[in-house]
A and B are shown apart, each in its own frame.
Chain A
């Protein structure tokens, strides 16, 4: 088991969310959520739609008020502060660019009335447009720009007032796949250059994995895991995280039969003792990622070998995905496993449905989760 990293371990936190709860009527959208963000850190809040991630962001921004708990910024409890006082830069999914103002006017929007003279405002606007690489569109209206350009103007506008915290609400989801990939990198670079503490909400795991320093995975209003991208992927805290981030084969419930051994149906599997968390009895759910399964010749001398039959093969470009059926064992349990094999390696393997193929489940790649109670 991987422990959820306690947010209190970081004492130098810039932003802390403490035991925040929120309900809309009878619907509890946030349940006792706590997290802390270090200065300059880029945190992604990841989860399926309806998991409460946007509500959490809006509470941090002060656009919603929590029913319970606090939001603490730079050591100050800001729970009761209005949005305007919190000094967050926000970029919305829709960008919310003012359609009747040029991109320069949009970027300058928050700068007026801050005691800055005209020249200072203008130079700040120029600086911001340069930061996002759009000096040339200063006099264009939003409708005359591409989606990616609009997105960058929205970012420049949010950053222009020098916010202490940047909040991004699904900033890339309205863009084409190609533009999205490029902007992912650009936003991350801008964030690094300015060193601004950033929280981004997304439902796209690739975005979270590539951009974040740490990821908050949320499920049904609770925080499921808060860890670095590599940890979230490599050591998911529970079956939900395992399933939501990346692909995962769940092999079902297995009994722990000894130090580093579980019994899955009739088969006994070696597992990494560390993953059993010192357990010597009880039951766990065993799972493995498609790319971690070894196939054919590679598996020949491994432990945890299984004989399977091919049900289908899908070509996915850089790799093939095999759908494999493990025939019923002595206890009548059968499994279905998806396996990813690099295209080059797959050339040596059979492709026809019905063909026999041997696989192995490397012990140190097997995940063991708490079996559901009852």
Chain B
């Protein structure tokens, strides 16, 4: 017998199925790189590089480069707001060389010196050439442009971050954001814990109702809570004016605009997410531990601290971080009730939309991203621990009636549910009033969106179309991606990377996705390894497609995890059995995997739809001028002081989402019944 143990492993002949699967895994990986990794890297890149902003007006011009400002005003030339000497229409001082066309226009500006980390540094000159209405930056034709903000790849290090942390007008937002997030999270966790405790551990009636009410805030744009608060506690609010002077003893001005308003609105906004996590955590504690504690004679108080809290500690941690992140990165509610109280998310908006300072927008985005990623990491660890806390042998806890406790929790849960409903529908009531607070008769006139900007019903229909496309594309990508990662045997490492990239979007605030897409999809060319190739995706910019892609990415992780959970419940050998019978994997996918997972697939599609309808953060940077969106219209109408139409638009979004969610659930009952007949024993 010949021994040859060191023979090389045989090279496998791939079959067609394996080849297709490999190609799809590579494709999925490429997709995630394109929509997550490259855009985010671009944000980092932009925060560390100089950019050029140039503007011309009738009697002057301005070129801003890497923190330097060169401008002409009233026939005088300035560099960094200090007068500059002009000789023969030529300037050459302090690292700036410029030629003037006439007294009001530049012909050429080159900046070769910038301030990098407080030291003046020479850089390769950034050249701006102006030829009539045409602009050229570094020799690249920019064209006549109202707003030629362009990147100029010159490294300026942490200059902007230094600037950010040295100007209190900027860095105070970071503390403000942290402050309101900590307070709102603390309030919401107490309420969500009590609410979830009431549902899982007491015998209060109406548990189904309470659960449904707790989920309702997920269907609304966050601006809605701001608007409701305005109607209740604003200058002309119901409470502020003591029911319009009818109940003067009730009149109470809480000083809504600012931190207080944001905290109340955010507490409602983050409530459902935290409640859901705590509901699962409290619902999965092992009843045997309580029986053991009782048999050992432990007091209620001691049982609470030694059994209940340790049992849910990871869930609690997870809820805290989820709530904090949501609150820290939210933009809608602070925009409406924030007043002069600056927070990070709104700062990004102001830098980018208001000042066209993309570089600083990128910098603030990174400042926003760091705590979000930290919270994401802690949350992932906490969730992993929580899910392993429950063993197959655990006995679910069944509460016993205790009249006093039950009554107390009924009051608490009732109050919370009532407040949620008020926050949802106060604005709805306001939107139906003819002229708050002077003419309180009801009318639908604010639902016509006449005499107001924002786009009205066109915006609303655009939102529906966008949400529909997002649901289709998102469900396809999330489910197919989860399938390829879970059910393939080949390409182990690429699949692990793809899994990580699929989880990552959870850490990305919508605003960061928005700004990242501006940078990535709007750059005319990629510079890779010294080559300059035209950006093939630039055509997507300013279309509905980029909004859909942004939504798919923004809401990807939750959907992906839902799909993964559903797929993990399927027998891992379905694919091997098919393979052994020579049936290609895609046939089994279509005939078994998809039909069996249909409930999860519908759930994912609805989640994409509902979230895309309500979202504001990613899309506010990306919506094309000719394609207004409902949520953007809310912001614009509110900005213009049209509170009632803004509230009306919010109500349209909420009602649509509720109708789609529950309507679809009702309509799909037949489909589910037919495709899931096999579940019946």
Most buried by B among A6, A19, A143: A19
Report A-chain residues with C-beta under 8 Å of the C-beta of B12.
Answer: 65, 80, 82
Name the interface residues of B1-18: CB closer than 8 Å to any CB of A. Answer: 1, 3-15, 17-18
Pick out which of these stretches binds chain A: B283-291, B338-346, B552-560, B575-583: B575-583
Q: Bound state CA distance, A100 and B599, in angstroms?
A: 13
B572-600, CB under 8 A of A: which get 1 and which 0?
11101111111100011001100110000
Known contacts A83-B580, A84-B579, A142-B678; A34 and B10 CB within 8 A of each other: no
Cβ B680 vs Cβ A67 within 8 A? no
Is A99 in contact with chain B by the CB < 8 A criterion? yes
B572 to chain A, nearest CB (A): 8
Task: Return the chain B residue nearest A96 by Cβ.
Answer: B573
Q: Is B402 an interface residue (CB 8 A)?
A: no
A161 at the interface (CB under 8 A from B): yes
Shortest distance between the CB of B177 and any CB in chain A (Å): 45
Shortest distance in angstroms between B20's beta carbon and chain A's nearest beta carbon?
12
Is A110 at the interface (CB under 8 A from chain B)?
yes
Q: How far is the CA of A158 from the CA of B11 in the complex (A)?
A: 27
Is A61 in the interface zone, CB < 8 Å from B? yes
* Alpha-carbon distance A157/B677, docked complex (angstroms): 22
| Residue pair B10, A109 in contact (C-beta under 8 Å) | no
A319 at the interface (CB under 8 A from B): no
CB–CB B592/A98 < 8 A = yes
Q: Which single member of A32, A85, A94, A143 contacts B679 (CB below 8 Å)?
A: A143
- Closest chain A residue to B585, Cβ basis: A84
CB distance A88 to B580 under 8 Å? yes
One of A65, A90, A144 near B577 (C-beta < 8 A) = A90
Query: B6's contact among A68, A87, A90, A142, by CB below 8 Å, is which?
Result: A68
Q: Which residues of A contact B679 (CB under 8 A)?
A: 99, 143
Contacts of A65 in B (CB 8 A): 9-10, 12
CB of A345 closer than 8 Å to a CB of B: no
B681 within 8 A of A: yes
Do A99 and B596 have beta carbons less than 8 Å apart? yes
Assess whether B124 is interfacial by the CB under 8 Å rule. no
Look across to chain B and name the residue whose beta carbon is closest to the beta carbon of A64. B489
User: Is the beta-carbon distance between A109 and B583 smaller than 8 angstroms?
Assistant: yes
Max chain A C-beta neighbours (<10 A), residue from B14, B573, B580, B595:
B580
Contacting residues, chain B, for A114 (C-beta < 8 A)? 582
Query: 1/0 contact trace for A52-96 toward B, CB 8 Å?
Result: 000000000101011111100000000111111111111010111
**Whose C-beta in chain B lies nearest to the C-beta of A32?**
B5
B448 at the interface (CB under 8 A from A): no
Cβ contact within 8 Å between A34 and B1: yes
Tally chain B residues at the interface, Cβ within 8 Å.
42
Q: How far, in whole Å, are A199 and B679 apart by their CA atoms in the complex?
A: 33
| Complex Cα spacing A65 to B10, Å | 8
Given contacts A84-B17, A100-B675, A143-B681, contact A92 B9 (CB under 8 A): no
Determine which of A69, A89, A141 lies in contact with B677 in the assembled complex, contact meaning CB atoms within 8 Å.
Answer: A141
Q: How many residues of A contact B (CB 8 A)?
A: 46
Q: Which of A291-324 contact B (CB under 8 A)?
A: none
- Flag if A100 contacts B592 (CB, 8 Å): yes
Interface flag for A21 (CB, 8 Å) = yes
Q: Does B167 contact A (CB under 8 A)?
A: no
Q: Which of B4, B577, B677 meets A92, CB within 8 Å?
A: B577
Does any Cβ of A come within 8 Å of B58's Cβ? no
For residue B571, CB closer than 8 A to chain A, the reply is yes
A142–B574 alpha-carbon span in the complex (Å): 14
Residues of B within 8 A of A84 (CB): 15, 17, 579-582
Q: CA–CA, A32 to B576, complex, Å?
A: 26
A175 within 8 A of B: no
| Docked CA distance A24–B679 (Å) | 38
- B596 and A68: CB pair below 8 A? no
B576, A83: Cβ atoms under 8 Å? yes
The CA-CA distance from A6 to B1 in the complex, in Å, is 9
Alpha-carbon distance between A351 and B217 when the two chains are bound, in angstroms: 76
Majority SS at the chain B contact face: loop
Given A63-B576, A82-B18: A141 and B6 within 8 A (CB)? Answer: no
Determine if B13 and A81 form an interchain contact, defined as CB atoms under 8 angstroms apart: yes
Among B577, B581, B583, B678, the residue within 8 A (CB) of A141 is: B678
A101 at the interface (CB under 8 A from B): yes
CA separation between A138 and B143, bound complex, in Å? 72
* Measured CA separation A100–B10 after assembly (Å): 37
Tell me the minimal C-beta distance from A54 to chain B in angstroms. 12
Contact, CB under 8 Å: A66 / B9: yes
Indicate with 1 or 0, residue by residue over B666-681, a CB within 8 angstroms of chain A CB atoms.
0000000001111111
A230 sits at the interface (CB 8 A) = no
Interface string of A101-143 (1 = CB under 8 A from B): 1000000011011100000000000000000000000000111
A364 on the B face (CB < 8 A): no
**Does A8 belong to the interface (CB within 8 Å)?**
yes
Q: How far is the CA of A70 from the CA of B591 in the complex (A)?
A: 35
Q: Nearest chain B CB to A141's CB is how many angstroms away?
A: 4
Q: CB-CB < 8 A to B592: which residues of A?
A: 98-101
Q: Which residues of B contact A110 (CB under 8 A)?
A: 578, 581-583
Q: Which residues of B contact A66 (CB under 8 A)?
A: 9-10
Q: A66-B10, A70-B10, A100-B592 are in contact. Are A82 and B15 (CB under 8 A)?
A: yes
B579 touches A94 (CB 8 A): no
Shortest distance between the CB of A258 and any CB in chain B (Å): 34
Minimum CB–CB distance for A66 against chain B, Å: 6
| B1–A161 CB distance below 8 A | no
Contact partners of A19 in chain B: CB under 8 A: 3-5, 7
Q: How many angstroms between the C-alpha atoms of A65 and B492 in the bound complex?
A: 14
B580 touches A90 (CB 8 A): yes
Determine whether the beta carbon of B571 is less than 8 Å from that of A61: no
Q: Which residues of chain A are near B7, meaning CB under 8 Å?
A: 19, 68-70
Contact of B10 (CB < 8 Å), options: A6, A61, A80: A80
B5→A69 contact, CB < 8 A: yes
- For B574, the chain A residues whose CB sits under 8 A away are 96, 98
User: How far apart sit A144 and B678, CA to CA, in the bound complex (Å)?
Assistant: 8
Q: A82-B18, A99-B678 are in contact. Are A32 and B3 (CB under 8 A)?
A: yes
Chain A residues with Cβ below 8 Å from B578 are 109-110
Q: Which residues of chain B have C-beta atoms less than 8 A from A21's C-beta?
A: 5
Chain A's nearest CB lies how many Å from the CB of B6? 6
| Cα A206 to Cα B438 with chains together (Å) | 90
- Identity of the chain B residue whose Cβ is nearest the Cβ of A78 in the assembled complex: B10
Say whether A83 contacts B4, CB under 8 Å.
no
Check A143–B678 contact: CB distance below 8 A. Answer: yes
Return chain B residues, CB-CB under 8 Å to A161.
581-582
Task: Give bound CA distance, A66 to B17, whole Å.
Answer: 20
A356 → B minimal CB distance (Å): 47
Q: How far is the CA of A19 from the CA of B571 in the complex (A)?
A: 32
Taking A101-B592, A143-B681 as contacts, is the C-beta distance between A68 and B5 under 8 angstroms? yes
CA distance A202 to B543 in the complex (A): 60
Question: What is the CA–CA distance of A69 and B3 in the complex, to the nearest angstrom?
Answer: 9
Interface residues of B in 529-583 (CB under 8 A from A): 571-574, 576-583
Contact B5 A63 (CB under 8 A): no
Contact, CB under 8 Å: B4 / A94: no
Chain A, residue nearest B1 (CB): A8
The residue that A100 contacts in the complex, of B489, B587, B678, with Cβ under 8 A, is B678
State the CA gap A79–B7 with chains docked (Å).
Answer: 12
A81 to B, closest residue via Cβ: B13
CB pair A94–B573 under 8 Å, yes or no, is yes
* Cβ contacts A to B, 26 pairs, < 8 Å: A6-B1, A19-B3, A19-B7, A21-B5, A65-B9, A65-B10, A67-B9, A68-B8, A80-B11, A85-B13, A87-B582, A90-B576, A92-B573, A94-B571, A96-B576, A99-B678, A99-B679, A100-B596, A101-B678, A109-B578, A109-B581, A109-B583, A110-B578, A113-B587, A144-B681, A161-B581
Further 7 A-B residue pairs, CB within 8 A, beyond A68-B5, A82-B12: A32-B5, A68-B9, A100-B595, A101-B592, A110-B581, A141-B678, A143-B681
6 closest cross-chain pairs (CB), A and B: A110-B581, A96-B573, A82-B15, A79-B10, A141-B678, A80-B10
- Residues of B participating in the A interface, judged by any CB pair closer than 8 Å: 1, 3-15, 17-18, 489, 571-574, 576-583, 587-588, 591-592, 595-596, 675-681
